[in-house]
A and B are shown apart, each in its own frame.
Chain A
């Protein structure tokens, strides 16, 4: 079963507007969440993370929001740029002492001019 779900396989956004990527999880033991970005023919690269003790973390144009009661997190990119076009993976970690990351299926973001 898919413990981390990204229900939108793709998203298209105009340059300068906000991109919102969503992620849902089912395991209440998850306590740390990350977003990775992946360009074609490259490996995923770390983008931003959030601990379950927070509900928001911001890094420049990227903000991650966590709603623990809904088991939902989202990544906001504002303003979106063409270079943001990539596949975005949501990932979750199940507690201190584990190195395992469980990834979602990814959302392909396209930012057009």
Chain B
């Protein structure tokens, strides 16, 4: 059963520290997304890639967040420096082209203290 793998599952860090979240998309999926879940905003799209090229990162705070796909098997989301308001669950999802067939990972729960 193919799945999207996210690491770590949980991360607690101090304000100002760098945080890196990783995602292994499903083999063969050419579109990768990063979402953030908060109580107030629901699932917010932060960035997404197609064939490893960034297509849209308009939802991401540019001064502290960065997203990359070093290769087809790895997507990263980095926050530097982290702030308490970044505390949320971050989801990675992958899919073939088109809006059907997205598969989400189990998420990384980030707590910044």
Which residues of chain A have a CB within 8 Å of any CB of chain B? 2, 4, 6, 32, 34, 41-46, 49, 89, 91, 93, 98-106
Contacts and interface: CB of A to CB of B under 8 A. Distances in A.
A92 to B, nearest CB: 9
12 contacts: A32-B99, A34-B100, A42-B106, A43-B4, A43-B91, A44-B43, A45-B104, A99-B31, A99-B50, A99-B55, A101-B99, A103-B44
A105 B104 contact: no
Q: Which 4 A-B pairs have the closest CB atoms?
A: A43-B104, A105-B42, A103-B43, A93-B99
Nearest to A89: B43
Contacts of B98: 99
B34 interface: no
A34 B99 contact: yes
Main secondary structure of the interface of B (DSSP, over half): strand
B98 to A, nearest CB: 7
A103 B56 contact: no
A31 B100 CA distance: 13
B42 A46 contact: no
Contacts of A6: 42
Nearest to B58: A100
B5 to A, nearest CB: 11
